[in-house]
Amino acid sequence: MGNGNSTQVAYQDNMHVVIVGGGQSGCYLAVQLLKSNFCKVTLIDPRDAMYHNHGAMRAAVNEDFMNYMFLPFADMLGSSFQRGTVVAMDSNNNTLTLKSGYQVRYTHLVVATGEDMPFPFKLGGENAELSAAKAADLLNQYRLELSDCNRIAFIGGGYNSVEMAGEIKTAFPDKEVIIITDEDHLVTKRARPALQASLLNILQQKGIAVIHNDSVYNLESVLTNRRADGQVLKTKNGKVLVTDFLINTEGAQINNGFYEKDLAGSMSPNGTLDVDDYLRVKGHDNIYAVGDVTSVDEEKTPCTPNEHAKVVKANLIAECNNATMTAYKAVMEVVLVSVGSEAGVSQICGMQFGNFPTKMAKGKDRNSSSTWTDLGLQLPAIKPEVCQGSKV
């Protein structure tokens, strides 16, 4: 590449950037590209709105928070949105095939399909093509069932378990909540011992029990992620627990269905895509990947999608200008764990911070304000008690 590094470029009539996946990474990139107005952009997603998955755990206990959960693609992207499910690709001919049979041609492809995990944390599997209205019905039903339960158990000790447990105990202090993990730590191995100790202390103050180094062995005989009163859980270490609502946050899988054959040579064993320093899929100069679908070894934070999008946008412009490309540098190591709207703990570059910084960075509104604003949408009106109580 040349020595220039201009961020301006004339409109490229023959360039068509197609983004597959309407999560945060895909949407951030699409919005940034449209603002730059240098080529045709199409984002493809099976739903009619972006699901604000960072807010799902609060919407699961607070009806008012539903106002934040669905960001309409039509308002965000206009005619640059194509609703559909991509089922196959042909990188030799630069084409994508939708479930309907319709084909989309691209000059540049960005894979932003992310990962799938149980509802309500993501809308995948049988829920992947739900409209916002249908998904809202599903989430409302989930909240009603959860609010009627007295004993709630979590399988897995990651962010989703810890943070949703905090949301439940904040909204419903009298409910029994327990987290069961087969690990010796919570959320991430990058969280240092001091943060782990502080987090455990916060959970204990909230009345959330934690069982480390143990696992439930009779999961196949119980129902998960829905109300089922009096279910008996048996652990490998001999514990017997009773729960009315079992939430399994484990088993996340990369959404690689449409590219697993064509890009097999660029995939890691876990299904992610190997990318170079510029977030290009290895072996393909015109295919990029952003978000959870990349093999980048980093702690994924609410900032990660935006940072990936910035780099890909810069490199697409650099290609047009024959300029120097921008290498992606993982954002500084950040661990943010909110426990309800007021409590939490953070670790930034090894330094630990407590409730207030964590609240402002994450817990206050589950990053809703920044997400809607960054995507060019006006934050919906919501009642003042949204972060203080529940409404069922």
Whether residue 121 is predicted with pLDDT greater than 90 in this model: the reply is yes
Q: How far apart are CA 58 and CA 386, in angstroms?
A: 9
Predicted confidence band of residue 8 (pLDDT cuts 50, 70, 90): confident
391 alpha carbon, distance to own chain's centre: 25
Q: Does residue 207 sit in the same domain as residue 303?
A: no
DSSP letter (8 states) at residue 273: B
Helices 24-36 and 304-321: crossing angle, nearest 10°? 40
Whether residue 288 is predicted with pLDDT greater than 80 in this model: the reply is yes
Residue 288 near residue 279, CB atoms below 8 Å: yes
Comparing CA positions, the residue from 367, 383, 389, 310 lying closest to residue 50 is: 367
pLDDT tens figures, 337-382: 999 988 999 998 888 888 888 888 888 899 999 999 999 999 987 6
Confidence at residue 7, expressed as pLDDT on a 0 to 100 scale: 67
Whether residue 389 is predicted with pLDDT greater than 90 in this model: the reply is no
Q: Does residue 258 sit in the same domain as residue 246?
A: no
Residue 1, in any domain of the structure: no
Residue 316 near residue 286, CB atoms below 8 Å: no
Q: How far apart are CA 262 and CA 266, in angstroms?
A: 9
Confidence at residue 9, expressed as pLDDT on a 0 to 100 scale: 84
| pLDDT: which is higher, 290 or 8 | 290
Confidence at residue 387, expressed as pLDDT on a 0 to 100 scale: 39
Q: How far apart are CA 247 and CA 245, in angstroms?
A: 6
Cα separation values, 363 from 153, 196, 262, 264, 386, Å: 22, 18, 40, 39, 12
Mean pLDDT of 286-314: 92
Confidence at residue 259, expressed as pLDDT on a 0 to 100 scale: 96
Residue 392, in any domain of the structure: no
Q: Does residue 313 sit in the same domain as residue 259?
A: yes
Predicted confidence band of residue 6 (pLDDT cuts 50, 70, 90): low
Q: Does residue 185 sit in the same domain as residue 157?
A: yes
Confidence at residue 30, expressed as pLDDT on a 0 to 100 scale: 98
Give the DSSP per-residue string, 230-288: EEEEEBTTS-EEEEEEEEE----EE--TTTTTTTGGGB-TTSPBPB-TTSBBTT-TTEE
Q: How far apart are CA 384 and CA 392, in angstroms?
A: 16
Cα separation values, 115 from 46, 288, 292, 294, Å: 15, 16, 6, 10
Cα separation values, 55 from 124, 236, 337, Å: 16, 33, 14
The answer to whether the Cα torsion of 301, 306, 309, 314 is positive or negative is: negative
Residue 326 near residue 278, CB atoms below 8 Å: yes
- Which residue's structure tokens are 């660029």? 266
Confidence at residue 350, expressed as pLDDT on a 0 to 100 scale: 80
Q: Does residue 230 sit in the same domain as residue 179?
A: yes
How many structural domains is the chain composed of?
Answer: 2
Mean pLDDT of 184-190: 94
Whether residue 390 is predicted with pLDDT greater than 60 in this model: the reply is no
DSSP letter (8 states) at residue 225: S
Q: Does residue 269 sit in the same domain as residue 370?
A: no
Q: How far apart are CA 269 and CA 103, in angstroms?
A: 29
Q: Which two tokens stand for residue 143?
A: 């909240």
Helices H / strands E in the chain, number of each: 9, 20
pLDDT tens figures, 332-344: 778 899 999 889 9
What is the gyration radius of the CA atoms in the chain, in angstroms? Answer: 21
Predicted confidence band of residue 391 (pLDDT cuts 50, 70, 90): very low
Q: Does residue 365 sit in the same domain as residue 226?
A: yes
Predicted confidence band of residue 384 (pLDDT cuts 50, 70, 90): very low
Whether residue 388 is predicted with pLDDT greater than 80 in this model: the reply is no
Q: How far apart are the first and last CA of the chain?
A: 58
> What is the maximum alpha-carbon separation in the chain?
67
pLDDT tens figures, 87-113: 999 999 999 999 999 999 999 999 999
Ranges 250-259, 275-284, 307-316, 382-391: which has the least confidence? 382-391
Residue 200, in any domain of the structure: yes
Q: Is residue 195 within a helix (H) or strand (E), and if so which, with residue range?
A: helix 193-206
| pLDDT: which is higher, 299 or 62 | 62
Residue 381, in any domain of the structure: no
Q: Does residue 166 sit in the same domain as residue 236?
A: yes
**CATH number of residue 133's parent domain:** 3.50.50.60
Q: Does residue 188 sit in the same domain as residue 116?
A: no
Q: Does residue 229 sit in the same domain as residue 270?
A: no
Q: Does residue 226 sit in the same domain as residue 348?
A: yes
Confidence at residue 4, expressed as pLDDT on a 0 to 100 scale: 43
Residue 383, in any domain of the structure: no
DSSP letter (8 states) at residue 327: P
Interacting residues of 79 by C-beta distance below 8 A, sequence separation 6+:
none
Q: How far apart are CA 148 and CA 311, in angstroms?
A: 46
Whether residue 174 is predicted with pLDDT greater than 50 in this model: the reply is yes
Residue 173, in any domain of the structure: yes
Confidence at residue 82, expressed as pLDDT on a 0 to 100 scale: 98
Q: Does residue 194 sit in the same domain as residue 79?
A: no
Residue 4, in any domain of the structure: no
DSSP letter (8 states) at residue 143: H
Mean pLDDT of 45-59: 96
Interacting residues of 229 by C-beta distance below 8 A, sequence separation 6+:
149, 244
Answer with the one of 285, 300, 321 that is the final residue of a domain.
321
pLDDT tens figures, 209-265: 999 999 999 999 999 999 999 999 999 999 999 999 999 999 889 999 999 999 999
Q: How high does pLDDT run on average in the chain?
A: 92
> What range defines the domain where residue 317 resides?
16-120+253-321
Q: Which two tokens stand for residue 79?
A: 């005619």
The answer to whether the Cα torsion of 134, 139, 144, 150 is positive or negative is: positive
Whether this prediction's pTM lies above 0.75 is answered by: yes
Cα angle 361, 381, 379; round to 5: 50
| pLDDT: which is higher, 2 or 302 | 302
Residue 328, in any domain of the structure: no
Residue 39 near residue 33, CB atoms below 8 Å: yes
